[in-house]
Structures are given as C-alpha cells and as structure tokens.
Structure 1
Amino acid sequence: MAEEQRSVYFVTLGMFIIDEFAFADEDGIPTGKVVSPQESGGGTYAAIGSRIWLPAEQNAMVVDKGKDFPEEIEKQLLGYGRAMWAFRQQPASGTTRALNSYLGEHRNFEYLTPRIRITPKDLPSVGISKPATLHFICSPARASEIVSEVEQVEGWSPTMIYEPIPDRCIPEELPALRRVLHAISILSPNAEEALSMLSMPLPPSKAAIEHAADTFLGFGVGPEDTGFVVIRSGGLGAYVKSRSRVGEWVEAYWSEKDERKIVDVTGAGNSFLGGLAAGLLLSKGDVLEAAYYASVSASFVIEQQGLPILLEKDGGASWNGDSPQRRVDELRSRHKRTDN
C-alpha cells in the first residue's frame, strides 16, 4: 500500500543519532562522570530550530529507528509534535549511534554503527512530498547527488540550504563545491570552515569572514547568482550577503559576556539553519530578517545539554520558559540601536 503523501514546508536530510559519552582526564584516566545517551545529529537540531517557529505539521525529519531506540528519547521527540517525525524501522542495523569521548577538554567523535544516509528519493516512502525548503549536511560530492535527485522530480524547486560537513571543509574539496554552488540557495559554513576551505588563516576576524563570503559569492552561489552566503560565526554573530545585497552582521543572541547562559554549543549551527528556514517563511523570503529567527533558535539550543524544553499551554508555547518572539523582537531592537 502506497504511503499517503503530505506537503510540508521544511525537511532536513540530516541523520538522527543517539550520542553516547565517555569521559577521561588528560592522562586517560576515567573521571567517573556519567551522562545518559542523548538524541543528537545535525538534522535533529535543525528540525528543532525550525520547530521553535513553525507548527510540527510544517516540519519533517526521517528518523531511522531500531529495536534499541530508547523509550525516553522517543517520548521527548513526540513532545515536539508527532507530525514532524517520519519514523522508519531499521530492525537489522538498529539506530545510528556515536561515541563522544573526552580526553580532558579534547572531544573525539566516532560512529558506533553504520550510517544510514537519507536522500530526496527516500521522502515519498515516508509520506513526504516536495518540501518547499530542504536542508542538508554533507560533502560537496554528496551535495551534487542530492541536487541531481531534486532536479529529477518534476515540479519541485525547493530552497536548498547547504551546510558543508566540517571534515570536508578543506581546500581539496573546493573544486567539488564550486561545481554544485549554482544550485544552492543558501551556502552556510561556519567561520572556521569557511576560512579553512579557502586556505585563509585562523582565528576568524570579521574582515576575513566578509572576504570569505565575497569569495564564495564570486564562485556563483544560486541559480543566476541569486543565492546567499550566511557565515555562522559564533559569538561574532552571522554575516549575511548576496551578490545584489550589501553584507550585514546579525548579532548572536547570547554573546561571550553571557557565559552563564552558554552551556553546550553542540547543535547551535544546525538549529540556526532550521531557524533560518522558518524565518524565510515568516519574513516572506528576506534572508537578513530570517537570520534574526535563526539566531534566536540557536540561543535556545545552547542553554543546556541536549534539546530545549517546549511547554505548550492555553494555546501558547514557550521554549526554556521564554518566548521566541520576545527574543527576536529584542534582537531587532539591538540591531536598530547599532544602526542609529
């Protein structure tokens, strides 16, 4: 029986991952610290970043679910809205898992199970039809494959938000990136990734980030050069530019002076891009305005380990006990004061 198809606004092709943790000091001696397995994966954070602004029904993510899928994690996901999760049973391979091992402050990440990649061709099988916005995190070569699959679907021209995978942000990958940029609506590496790919020195400065954005735009981002580059730059904020629009900086909602609010930055960049996607809808396509929504999405993710807390009551919703709309209004007012 064919899966009933539904239209959604935002879909991420990022994987769902269950993170496990091991902690040792600088000498490799276990610290005794114990952290329960947590939901993770860039796609998960991107989906939540969009969900902060849009109803569950307008978001979707494929979640490959094995028999080992923790009940408490499933319960947490369903708390954000059953409609946004397209569970796909994986009885043989199980749920994708990864180990985060800490040696002092150094973190190592490795997969414990085979990765189950998600492509546009998978979406109809889980009832998702031609989303308006598509987010993906991968190498430039795989981005080309994703673009090719999209172009084979008649009547589908989504906004494509491409987040290069960190370990492929190296100069050797630049030719492959240039070959796919013509189809990318928004290219968004973080600052370190952007400079690394362009063989520019670290640490990032605003001047270097702005130069990197110009360089990527010069390669031809977007159909007929209509695309944007959004470089996520941590405490510096985010730099937004297209070939036809002057570059502008959008502040990070929490900066380094708000140290007590910054608990864990894992997933901040992914949630930023989910928020950016939602902001594009709410701002009628204004990428700069969408970046305010993106910054607020990231602010909720970094306030704790794991995903933020949604509380729905009397027709309203709060995240971590605060209003996303209040935060975006505050961020806009900061920007106006800076301009004046």
Structure 2
Amino acid sequence: MGSPPHFIGGGGTYATIGARIWLPADKLGMIIDRGHDFPLEIDSKLSSYGSEMWHFRGHSDRGTTRALNSYRGDHRGFEYLTPRIRLTPRDLENTRFARPATLHFICSPTRALEIISEVNDVVGWKPINIFEPIPDRCVPEELPSLIKALPAISVLSPNAEEALNLLSLPPAVTRPAVEGAAAKFLALGVGEAGSGCVIIRSGALGAYIKTREREGQWIDAFWTNSDLSKVVDVTGAGNSFLGGLAAGLLLSQGDVYEAAFYASVSASFTIEQGGLPIMTGNADGGAEEWNGDLPRRRLEELQQRHRNKE
C-alpha cells in the first residue's frame, strides 16, 4: 500500500477558493502561516489564483502545519501531524483584510464564542458571521456553548450528521430529519441579534436552507446520482460550499436562498479531483474557467433545474 497523496489542505483554503470561483482575488483574503519547509510548488499553486488573496506569515523556527485525512467507508478521520497555529480576528487588523464584511470560521462552538467576543470588541464592525462547526466537536456536550453563540451567527451550517449529533437526534439522514434539525436550531436562537439562517449540507440530498422569514428550501447538489463518475474526492466540499455561499450573498444582495445556488456550484468543482480545482484564465479577457468549465454555465443549469420542478 503506497503513501497517501499530498494536497493543499485546510478548510479555510477550500472556502476561500469556493468564493474565488465567483469573485476576483482582491475581494478575498486569508492568512497563511508558512513554515521553513513550505513547499515552493504550493506557493506557486496558491499564487495562480491571485496573489492578492493571501497574506503569508513566515515562521523560520517551525515547520508548516500538516494534517492527515483518512476514510473508512463514509467515516472521515482527521488529525494534525504537526502543531497548529490559531488565527483570531485580531490577526486581520494589520493586513488589508481588516474588518471584512463577511467572516467565515471553522471551529468548535466554544472557540466560536471567543471569536465572536473579539469581533464585538471592534467598534463598528458587524460582519456576516458564517459558522461551520468543526466535525469532531459536533457533540451534544458542545450544544450549550453553541446556544450562547447563536444570536451572533448569521449563517449556521453543519452537515447533516453533525447537526443531528449536536441535537442528540437519531443519526439516520433523511429530508424530514434535516428539516426538523434546522427548525430546532432556529428555535434555539440563530441570528437573534439580526436575521439568521440555517443551512444543513446533506451530501447527495443537497442542502436545506431555512430562515424565520421564508419557508425552507432544498437546493440540489449539482452532481446528481446520474453523474457520480464526476465525484472523485469530497474533501473540502462543505468548505467550498460555504465560500461560494459568501460570494453568492454579495452577488445576490443578501438573498441566502439564491446564494445557495452559487454554493452548490462551488462544491461541484471541488469534488471533481483530489485537491483544489484548476483555474485557467482567458487570454482575451473573457471569463475564467474552472476545471475547463464556466461557473456561470453551471449556475444557470442548476437554476433551470429548479425552475423545472416548480
């Protein structure tokens, strides 16, 4: 058995690329900690998406953070192979990314409380907070901390298994179960400080979006059961979905239901290969292609698919 393949990783990286599919590089930002052994090919790959997106922090005294994804059937395991460095909202202050309009964070509910506290300390900063609970902390013991954080969360988005586990509900993933979990999270206070939304990502079932103002809606996964040959590696799909959602919120003037179409398309590009999708520019200034296809074409196809159901 050979050694596992090495890919650029990190949920934040996939989320940022998910947004990059729709937005120019200068509209996005992510801090990357670069150790003394940071591979040059990774530096080159990231820069190919637009060097303006990245703020590199050098660490000559330590190696680059590495982790291992492992799969046994449908169960995903994840472990850090080197010590990680935590980022906080304060780390953004000395970069051009200070006080972004949208903030996406992946962590435990307990850690989310700390992040929200830091955001609240900055006078006049009221970002759209998109919270993606980290998988191994989607446990019932974290629910009290999550409830405390919910009023400041604009979009709460666990996947279906994580949502059911947080709420101590039976683990079978069905559409009625997902819809019930979304309603429960809203009742627990998502976005009480403003308008709030729950999006439960449910793999091949699609994603369920629910707010207090509108009925819940399912948005299809772009690749359906008839296209499963296109699905190579689902690593990062949920992260890129939420990056696409953040971009979609900007492009749809805040309509989260419309933004979910952008999100589903972003995920579709991520799962077509191991690692990040490939972006190619257009020499005559035309639209960028991703994996040899146009995001706008997929968006229109997915929207039409839903119109045909009405």
Candidates 108, 114, 117, aligned match of 2:83: 114
Percent of paired sites with the same residue: 61
Q: Does 1:223 align with 2:192?
A: yes
Paired amino acid for 1:331: L
Q: How does 1:1-340 map to 2 (within 5 A)?
A: 31-32=1-2, 35=5, 37-101=6-70, 108-224=77-193, 226-313=195-282, 314-315=284-285, 316-339=287-310
1:137-181 Cα offsets, whole Å, 9 max, x none, are 001111011001011111110000000011111111111100010
Q: 1:144 to 1:33 in 2, by over 3 A?
A: closer
Q: 1:33 to 1:90 in 2, by over 3 A?
A: closer
Q: Tell me if the contact between 2:248 and 2:260 (Cα under 8 Å) persists in the aligned partners.
A: yes
Give aligned pairs, total. 308
Q: Tell me if the contact between 2:154 and 2:194 (Cα under 8 Å) persists in the aligned partners.
A: no
TM-score, reference length from structure 2: 0.96
SS at match of 2:79: strand
Q: Tell me if the contact between 1:98 and 1:110 (Cα under 8 Å) persists in the aligned partners.
A: yes
CA distance in 1, matches of 2:142, 2:304: 39
1:247-278 Cα offsets, whole Å, 9 max, x none, are 00100001233111000000000000000000
RMSD (CA atoms)? 1.4
Q: Tell me if the contact between 2:110 and 2:145 (Cα under 8 Å) persists in the aligned partners.
A: yes
TM-score, reference length from structure 1: 0.88
Task: Point out where structure 1 has 5 or more consecutive residues left out of the alignment.
Answer: 1-30
Paired residue for 1:11?
none
CA distance in 1, matches of 2:247, 2:294: 16
SS at match of 2:22: coil
SS at match of 2:8: strand
CA distance in 1, matches of 2:71, 2:2: 12
Shift of 1:128: 2.1
Paired amino acid for 1:228: C
Paired amino acid for 1:266: T
Q: Tell me if the contact between 2:208 and 2:218 (Cα under 8 Å) persists in the aligned partners.
A: yes
Paired amino acid for 1:324: P
1:117-141 Cα offsets, whole Å, 9 max, x none, are 1110000233322100000000111
Shift of 1:201: 1.1
Q: 1:68 to 1:33 in 2, by over 3 A?
A: closer
- Structure with greater strand percent: 1
Shift of 1:200: 1.1
